[in-house]
Chain A
Amino acid sequence: MKIGESGRLQVSRRPRSSPRRKRRGLQTRREERWFYFFIAPWLIGFIFFGLGPMLASVGLAFTDYNLSGWPSFVGFDNFERMVDPVQGPLLEKAIRNTLYIALLVIPLQILIGLGLAVLLSQQVRGMPLFRTAFYLPTVVSGVATVVVWIWILGSDGLLNQGLELFGIDGPVWLRDPATVKLGIVIIMVWGGTGGMMIIFLAGLQSMPRELLEAAAVDGASAVRRFWHVKLPLLTPQLFFNLVIGVASGIGVFTETYVVSSETGPAGSGSPANQTLTLVMYIYRQMLVNLQVGYASAVAWVLTAAIALLTAIQFWSSRRWVYYDNDNR
């Protein structure tokens, strides 16, 4: 906050008018103009690609619009459709699928990411090599890696070959409605864990050594040191990973879109609507069914849900996130 402490700006607040004050005032105004000059690109972008579209989206949620002609106002019809017997069940299915995937993926990514970070933080030789192996999936996660996973989780894929060693006859994971979501969870855990690990590792490596050594000297066991010293110090990283994990878990799209093309048209939610997630539902309503007004209403419910979850996390973070005042 060096700017606030700069003497020059405080002087300008002197009440008496004098040539000197005029000059300072000019200086302040000059700086103000420069400020708006520098943030102009962001401000224009915010209005045209952020605020404007968001307001438009709120408006669209109350209209019937099929991308041609003009939207017509329909009041709360779109919101009523979300719970009516025709559209309701499919939307409910999409919400259930999204929650199923997110509630498995987020804890698994965080726990495995934390575990790997703890292993790597023990002064391991060849650490960069291991770090690369765990982090690379996050860097490249996307369509190209889902293609590989479709084979790995296929009928004679690696996973089933491995299960066969234990005498288990595995399903065709991504074609069977009963297992397709588990398959997607496996793909997402593989792809997202490394990113969480890197964050935890950064936290573990910047931890004050004196604190850990003091705990060890006091005779605290490794387990106690982890629970009572390391974990509390890692809560900022845990919080960050949780916020990012929830937003990206609920926004799942790429994996389900590609996997659905195994058993039906891409983005269809196939098999048996098991891969139909909320974002895919919005995508389909907008571009396949051309129900733009209804899709906007659903998008707003999703946005509100994510905003609420984020707000809850921020609010609760005051109770469980420990910030070291020296660093932040």
Chain B
Amino acid sequence: MTLSDISSDSSTASTAIGPVTGGRRSWRTVRRIVLYVVLIGLSFLFALPFLWQASASFKNSAQILEPGLNLIPESFKLDNYSRVFDSVPFDSWFYNSLFITLLGTLGATFSSAFCAYGFAILRARGSNICFALALITIFIPFEALLIPEYILFAQLGWLNTPLPLIIPWCFGGGAFNIFLMRQFYKGLPRELIDAARVDGASEFRIFWRIMLPLTIPALTVVAVFHFIFLWNDFLRPLIYLTDVNETTLPVGLSGFLSRFSRQWAILMAGSFMALLPIVVLFAVAQRFIVKGINLTGVRR
């Protein structure tokens, strides 16, 4: 999308309500041009930190400190990137982040789908109380659990292992995700389940063979949001993974920042690499993210 595309479309894109007279039409055109100028300006402002970060990661320190907005680097040298790998265990951080995020996402997605089947489809005494309890936990701030969970994981000997960041997600996957999946199940035709029951399928078989395949779009929404959440998670890995080789990218980067204070070239290369997986995921899955928000009206 370039500027000329937009301006050539701007007069036709307006959808008029009611009769449009000549004077009104030109007023409308002016309004739409202003709208696009404002939108392009604002989106540039929002994107600027990324653009600058990307370009600075290819520059040397002197070039970075040059005044002015030189977004195109003179050359695409990878010196800064190799310096990141030489000076910190960036590959371990990356691997740890990926391992924790993938397993945590898998656990949360699958187990929230599993539990949501119970809450959405099956009837039992106590189901309302259980669901109410689950909903309340959405509103309990993480800070309330921080200290006792730390003690619990310390007693279990799980500090400096990825377990505290993976295992809890395998038990229900968070009330928010259960709620999301439950809403999707409720929207499916009930006859499907009744028919399967008449055919003698067990509830687990119905869940595994009918519900899971039908809710792949919903599972994708949950997985994408949870992946983003875990990849950016900071406080939990900060307190559970204090060993510099066992920690995740955000925690590693925060230490990296104090160590290479003001060495912008290397800092930008490291932080840009940390962002890349999530930006790629976002680009690929944007459709699902927007769809998920539109369907449920909520986000994580």
Chain A residues proximal to chain B, CB less than 8 Å:
2-4, 6, 9, 28, 31-32, 34-39, 41-46, 48-50, 52-54, 56-57, 60, 67, 116, 119-120, 122-126, 128-134, 136-137, 139-145, 147-152, 156, 158, 161, 190, 194-195, 198-199, 202-203, 205-206, 213, 216-217, 236-237, 240, 244, 247, 250-251, 253-254, 257-258, 261-262, 265-266, 278-279, 282-283, 286-287, 292, 295-296, 299-300, 302-303, 306-307, 310
Contacts and interface: CB of A to CB of B under 8 A. Distances in A.
Given A42-B115, A198-B290, A258 B257 contact: yes
A198 B299 contact: yes
13 contacts: A52-B152, A54-B140, A57-B144, A57-B145, A67-B151, A125-B36, A144-B250, A151-B52, A282-B147, A286-B146, A303-B141, A303-B144, A307-B140
Contacts of B46: 133-134, 136-137, 190, 194
Contacts of B52: 148, 151-152, 158
B172 A148 contact: no
Contact of B141 (A36, A152, A190, A306): A306
A143 B250 contact: yes
A193 B264 CA distance: 26
Given A251-B142, A266-B255, A299-B143, A156 B294 contact: no
B65 A300 contact: no
Given A60-B148, A140-B278, A143-B271, 6 more contacts: A34-B203, A53-B148, A54-B144, A148-B49, A299-B143, A303-B143
Nearest to A280: B235
Interface residues of B, number: 104
B172 A46 contact: yes
Given A53-B148, A124-B39, A133-B43, A144 B297 contact: no
A122 B15 CA distance: 9
Contacts of B5: 125-126
B161 to A, nearest CB: 16
A46 B112 CA distance: 13
Interface centre among B38, B137, B255 (most CB of A within 10 A): B137
Contacts of B212: none
A39 B143 contact: no
Interface stretch (B73-81, B122-130, B214-222): B122-130
Given A45-B172, A125-B13, A296-B147, A266 B254 contact: yes
